[in-house]
Amino acid sequence: MEEQMTYEEAKEFFAEFYRGEHHISEKIEPFGCGYQIRHHADLSTFDYDDLTRFVLMCHDRAYRGRVSPRNHMYVSLSIWKRKHEAGKDDRYPTYVTHPAIEDAIAKFRKHSPFHNQPN
Label each residue of 27-42 as H, E or C: CEEEECCEEEEEECCC
pLDDT at 55: 96
pLDDT at 26: 95
CA distance 112 to 104: 12
- Looking at residues 80-96, what average pLDDT do you find? 70
Contact 116, 74 (CB under 8 A): no
pLDDT at 54: 97
Confidence at 3, pLDDT banded by 50, 70, 90:
confident
Query: Model's pTM, two decimal places?
Result: 0.83
Task: Tell me the backbone φ, ψ of residue 86, rounded to 5 degrees.
Answer: -70, -25
DSSP-based three-state secondary structure for 76 = strand
Please return the burial class of 74, using the count of CB atoms within 10 Å of its CB with bins 0-12, 13-18 and 19+: middle
Give the β-pairing of 63-69 and 28-31: unpaired
Q: 89 pLDDT exceeds 90?
A: no
